Amino acid sequence: MAKTESADGARVRFPPPAVFLLSLLLGFGLNRLVPLPPIPLESRSRIAVGVLVVILGIVPIAWARIHFLRTKQNPIPWTPTPELIFQGPYLYTRNPMYVGMTTLQIGLGMAFGVLWSVLLAAVSLAIVHQMAVRPEEAYLSEKFGEPYRQYLTRVRRYI
């Protein structure tokens, strides 16, 4: 369960993966109520592209998770961050897990032919940006100061 306050952790109140899951499910529900035109690919091609995009979404999540395990850190955003990670996917994006979750949602929407879920991926990321990324950045900037601010200038927030 998320804490509303932490002595040492970002002020994130809701698990970001749940935002993506709820948005994905909302897309499936909306698809039944207000169907959008189908994704313009033949079924097998659409599924193949969707699966490829799902794999592309899993890669940065798993890669970031490996670096959390190596540094003995917890990826849950409201837990303390003992050190910054500058290796692996963090050389290319400051938020590889959120990039991966967004990509994963797009891929699942494609694979299942649910355009709503594909479109809602941008909404998911916008929500996570406000509720998690901004508090995480404020926390890391306050805790790590200049090294983190320099990192902000070198590496993009998303892609």
Q: Is residue 28 part of a domain?
A: no
Q: Is residue 8 part of a domain?
A: no
Q: Is residue 64 part of a domain?
A: yes
Report pLDDT for 7: 57
CA distances from 19 to 16, 32, 114, 128 (A): 5, 20, 17, 7
Number of domains in the chain: 1
Residues in the chain: 159
pLDDT in tens, the chain (159 residues): 444 444 589 999 999 999 999 999 999 999 999 999 989 999 999 999 999 999 999 999 999 999 999 999 999 999 999 999 999 999 999 999 999 999 999 999 999 999 999 999 999 999 999 999 999 999 999 999 999 999 999 999 999
Q: Is residue 142 part of a domain?
A: yes
Q: Is residue 51 part of a domain?
A: yes
Domain span at 138: 42-74+83-154
Paired tokens of 118: 């594909």
Q: Is residue 10 part of a domain?
A: no
Q: Is residue 96 part of a domain?
A: yes
Report pLDDT for 8: 82
